Amino acid sequence: MMIFEQKLREKKLKVTPQRIAILQEIKKGGHIGIEEIYENIKTRYPSISLATVYKNITSLYEANLLREIKIPQHKQKYELVCEHHIHVVCQKCGKLEDVFLDSKNIVNLCREATHYELINANVMLIGICSHCK
């Protein structure tokens, strides 16, 4: 909890129990949608609204504390910003996993092919998980 308070202060965001609860739910869930966050914290904060959760997610995202994950044919999910990684998602059930691989080669190949100055990489591989096969 202290780490979240510190990160909020560093980003000049007000430290509120609701923001801490949202960050804790995202940490616990790994990849989690807004509605799921809302359902999980409304028991602790019955007066919180879905709109408040949306507003706080937007603020945390804009402060670069959260990363949005857009999954084809599913609602977006959020995760805490951490070291770069690749997402692997099941096309059938939507299960989402992190794979921590060195993606520098992919970035370098793309930089050479396009001559872009690349700022960020967001790699998602889509397949069918072992459970759905």
Q: Are 49 and 33 contacting, i.e. CB atoms less than 8 angstroms apart?
A: no
For residue 93, say whether it is annotated as part of any ligand binding site.
Answer: yes
Q: Measure Cα distances from 82 to 16, 44, 48 in Å.
A: 22, 27, 27
The domain segmentation of the chain, as residue ranges, is 2-80, 86-127
Integer distance in angstroms from the first to the last C-alpha of the chain? Answer: 39
For residue 82, say whether it is annotated as part of any ligand binding site.
Answer: no
User: What is the three-class DSSP state of 12?
Assistant: coil
Widest pairwise Cα distance in the chain: 53
For residue 74, say whether it is annotated as part of any ligand binding site.
Answer: no
Q: Measure Cα distances from 38 to 49, 56, 85, 116 in Å.
A: 8, 11, 26, 39
Regarding the domain delimited by 86-127, which CATH topology (the fold level of the hierarchy) does it fall under? Answer: Dna Ligase; domain 1 (3.30.1490)
CATH of domain 2-80: 1.10.10.10
For residue 132, say whether it is annotated as part of any ligand binding site.
Answer: yes
For residue 110, say whether it is annotated as part of any ligand binding site.
Answer: no
pTM for the full predicted model: 0.81
Residue range 41-91, pLDDT digits in tens: 999 999 999 999 999 999 999 999 999 988 878 888 999 988 778 889 998
Q: Are 98 and 45 contacting, i.e. CB atoms less than 8 angstroms apart?
A: no
Residue range 6-35, pLDDT digits in tens: 999 999 999 999 999 999 999 998 889 999
